[in-house]
Amino acid sequence: MTLPTIPPAQAKALLDQGARLIDIRDADEHRRQAIPGAANMPLSALQPVSGHPAVIWHCRSGMRTAANAPQLAAMSGCPGYILEGGIDGWRSAGLPVRTDAKAPLEIMRQVQIIAGLLILLGVVLSLTVAQGFVLLSGFVGAGLLMAGATGWCGMARLLAVMPWNRRAA
């Protein structure tokens, strides 16, 4: 079973009639940018949704919701839909989006930035200081390979406990 995709204007009309909007992105992504009124229910913590005229699922671009449509459909105890284009499509349609510029970047973006910097640093140091620094680039590349193969990222785990990523109590 799959879910139909609806444009932002139709989603807004359903929300005005009492539909529930659910953001399936991780909490760090939701904190940084969200559609006002959207509940956050990451894919890893999905629960059945019922008791509403409809449920509308969304992510950033619509790719995650489309890829997980069967799982989302199974959690929809009422008519379910996918927001076309996700939060990006919502914003492009001129609808309001709440942004918290003070919230830290999403963990995966932090991983990409740090990994890219470490690889670049390893290459530059191996060319200018000592060839052995190329091992730094190899180590980071191996870590990224393992993260992709296993779904476990040590750098993401480390970044998640950094002070700037902790919620204020």
Active site residues: 59
Distance CA 106, CA 112 (A): 10
| Per-residue buried b or exposed e for 115-130, using 16+ beta carbons within 10 Å of the residue's own CB | beebbeebeebbeeee
Structure-derived torsion over alpha carbons of residues 162, 165, 168, 169, reported in degrees to the nearest 10: -60
Q: State the DSSP code for 54.
A: -
Q: CA of 79: how far to CAs of 2, 57, 65, 73, 74, in Å?
A: 11, 11, 15, 9, 11
Q: Quick check: 16 and 60 in contact, CB under 8 A?
A: no
Show the tokens assigned to 162.
Answer: 């950094």
Six token digits for residue 109: 């973006």
